[in-house]
Amino acid sequence: MTIADAPTAAAAAADAAVRWHAGGPFNLLQSLGILMRGNGDPSFAARPDGLWMAFTTPEGPATLRLTTAGTGTETHVDAQAWGPGAGPAVAGVPRLLGADDDWSAFDEPAFHGSLPRLVTEARRRNPAVRLPSTGRVVDSLVPTILEQKVTTIEARRGYRYLMHGYGTPAPGAHTPPGLLVAPTPAQWLAIPSWEWHKAGVGPQRSATVMRALRSAVALERLASLDSAAAGAKLQTIPGIGIWTAAEVVQRTHGCPDSVSVGDYHLAAYVGYALTGRKTDDAGMLALLEPWRGHRQRVVRMIGLSGFRKPAFGPRMTIQDHRRH
């Protein structure tokens, strides 16, 4: 996998550009979809002219556009960036796209033979998936905290409300309308309590965000640690447990092994997929133990298999606290 300057007119118009050669099949949306907080995430735009995203770098905000071309070993991604953070944005493209994500041990015949057919078939149909590494801890941590102990719909609605209220327009003359850069730690910390309430974010979750972001500089340094050490450090912050830490390092470090223990649906989903029966967190970990080191890869493949667990029992109630 190599990088070279992108020789396109669009790249010439950008503040910085790079071409990344995947060295094999690569699916942009399958690989980076885990980073998007739903189809309405204001910091992403999936359009015919590419996948756009906006975020803050140490040098300032950046807008990044990614487009794929070629097939097989000729597959490549062109990246163009705009804004003060354009340089760091393109420098991070290889890791973002999964350049460090190595599936060779997972695909080794002996290991592959130990996997359930559901997983091997999903891998056969989805050879172009990579696990991304953003290196941006705060950008992953805040929306993950908002998803603690509530439905995904409720959490993402609150995240969109706060993004539209406190995010900033993404830089660039031709940026998609409405694309936003998430608040900086200082901007998150300045959000008044009543706005968190309007967003449907309870005081426990907003307090966890505030507590974590008071150490934002130290948080971003966690990107330089391995995923296990980073996850352990995150869990020293009150209000951040194993589920939150796992969800973060899956995105910031491309961790191939972290499992979201404590997820409302995941244990039952994995249990039904692998055994036909519901299980709890302990049962899920026992089922995944033979593939330690690749447990997140197994979970991703189950998700891509198309499997759906039986739908019965009461649904979790979505509460709207904004008018209370």
Strand partners, 62: 55
CA angle at residue 244 from 298 to 54, to 5 degrees? Answer: 90
Provide CB contacts within 8 A for 190, sequence distance 6+. 166
| CA 301 vs CA 253, 273, 293: distances in Å | 18, 11, 14
- Strand duo 180-181 + 76-82: pairing: unpaired
DSSP symbol at 184: P
Helices (H), 79-190: 86-91, 93-96, 104-107, 109-114, 117-125, 137-146, 152-166, 185-189
**Residues in the chain, how many?**
324
pTM for the structure as a whole: 0.91
Other Cβ atoms closer than 10 A to 141: 27
Question: Which helix H or strand E contains 44, and what residues bound it?
Answer: strand 44-47
Distance of CA 112 to the CA centre of its chain: 26
- CB distance 305 to 122 below 8 Å: yes
DSSP symbol at 30: H
Q: Dump pLDDT digits (tens) for 128-185.
A: 999 999 999 999 999 999 999 899 999 999 999 999 999 999 999 999 999 999 999 9
**Terminal Cα distance for the chain, rounded:** 54
3-state secondary structure at position 292:
coil
Share in percent of the chain as helix, strand, coil (round to 5) = 45, 15, 40
Distance of CA 322 to the CA centre of its chain: 27
Per-residue pLDDT of the chain (324 residues; tens, 9 = 90+): 444 444 444 555 899 999 999 999 999 999 999 999 999 999 999 999 999 999 999 999 999 999 999 988 899 999 999 999 999 999 999 999 999 999 999 999 999 999 999 999 999 999 999 999 999 999 999 999 999 989 999 999 999 999 999 999 999 999 999 999 999 999 999 999 999 999 999 999 999 999 999 999 999 999 999 999 999 999 999 999 999 999 999 999 999 999 999 998 999 999 999 999 999 999 999 999 999 999 999 999 999 999 998 876 544 444 443 344
DSSP symbol at 151: -
- CB distance 141 to 212 below 8 Å: yes
